[in-house]
Amino acid sequence: MIDKLAKAARDPGLAWAWAYSRWMPQRAVNRSAALARRAGLRQPLFILSFDCDTDADSAVVGAMHARLRSGGLSPLYAVAGEVLAAAADDYRAIADDGAVFLNHGYRRHAALDPDSGAVTSTYFYGAVSAAEWQDDIRQGDAAIGDILGQRPDGYRTPHFASFESLRDLMTLWRFLSELGYRYSSSTRPLFGLRYGPFFTRAGIVEFPVSGCLSQPGQILDSWGLIRSGDGTSRRLLNELQGYLAMMETGQPGLLNLYLDPADVAADEDVLTMLTRFAPFTAGDFASVLGRAAHG
């Protein structure tokens, strides 16, 4: 709580968005819809990305990708460079199938306990110098180029909510811009509630990940809803069902969903639910912007 108050004092807008989403979730949802319209969206769109932070993610990513592709989806993958290098053949196979990769830094930022399957976060950009995290981003970029032959134009910071002061973010966006990047998806839903489904800073279009409809400030992801929840996918499925119902009414908006493969790849209910979003799939960030401009 002290930490929250300190953050609030530094960035009152963020505190406002947090309070809003906490106490008036329905109004926050309505506000998201209004901001989506203002951003030029005329239809519901869906972007799905997977963060691959451990070898447990690498072990399941190939089969999961094939299943989702046959269901009409084309997920993005944010893979830490060391994880990518350790399972190069698996990721090359899905890259050859058209998968697009986001630079997710180079160093591993999660440790997996092989016995329990527990995952611990290990490397935070907020805890190291700017020179160090910038080097990590450069190395992540090189890994995707060397291993997959792709030139990434999108980026995601390791760990949400740990590197999001406006000063850090501005430094990040400027740095990405210098490297020739165009997109970032590194911020929490609170940024979406403030600035909309995407917004441009320092030449980078930032796409905040989406929040839960029941609790718009809370990230809609498997980390929060499965791992830190009751271990089942029940809450995740409920939240996704809510989005699906809303999108089926045609309400403009962007669901920018990220999941961890190891948490969902064996869950047929989740995979089936995801494929129900296929009619709304936008593929990648560029295509969202294209439809916002021309839709």
> Which residues in this chain contact Zn ion in the complex, by CB under 5 A?
51, 53, 158
- Considering the complex, state which of residue 53 and residue 153 has its C-beta at the smaller distance from Zn ion: 53
- Considering the complex, state which of residue 77 and residue 280 has its C-beta at the smaller distance from Zn ion: 77
- Considering the complex, state which of residue 62 and residue 158 has its C-beta at the smaller distance from Zn ion: 158
Q: How far is the CB of 272 from Zn ion (least distance, A)?
A: 25
Single-letter amino acid code for the residue at 73: L
* SS3 readout for 115-158: CCCCEEECCCHHHCCHHHHHHHHHHHHHHHHHHHCCCCCEECCC
Q: How far is the CB of 260 from Zn ion (least distance, A)?
A: 8
- Considering the complex, state which of residue 44 and residue 105 has its C-beta at the smaller distance from Zn ion: 105
- Cβ atoms of 102 and 152 within 8 Å: the answer is yes
Q: How far is the CB of 207 from Zn ion (least distance, A)?
A: 16
- Considering the complex, state which of residue 53 and residue 263 has its C-beta at the smaller distance from Zn ion: 53
User: CA-to-CA distance for 119 and 112, rounded, in angstroms?
Assistant: 5
- Considering the complex, state which of residue 140 and residue 197 has its C-beta at the smaller distance from Zn ion: 140
Residue 104 tokens read as 């997710």
User: CA-to-CA distance for 286 and 229, rounded, in angstroms?
Assistant: 33
Q: How far is the CB of 57 from Zn ion (least distance, A)?
A: 9
User: CA-to-CA distance for 136 and 141, rounded, in angstroms?
Assistant: 9
Helical residues (DSSP H) of the chain, grouped into ranges: 2-10, 12-23, 25-38, 55-70, 81-86, 88-96, 130-148, 166-178, 189-195, 222, 234-248, 261-264, 268-275, 285-294
- Cβ atoms of 175 and 134 within 8 Å: the answer is yes
Q: How far is the CB of 191 from Zn ion (least distance, A)?
A: 18
SS3 282: coil
Q: How far is the CB of 109 from Zn ion (least distance, A)?
A: 6
- Considering the complex, state which of residue 188 and residue 194 has its C-beta at the smaller distance from Zn ion: 188
The gap from C-alpha 189 to its chain's centroid, in whole angstroms, comes to 10
The gap from C-alpha 250 to its chain's centroid, in whole angstroms, comes to 23
- Considering the complex, state which of residue 81 and residue 158 has its C-beta at the smaller distance from Zn ion: 158
Q: How far is the CB of 157 from Zn ion (least distance, A)?
A: 8
Beta pairing, strands 183-184 & 253-259:
unpaired
Q: How far is the CB of 44 from Zn ion (least distance, A)?
A: 27
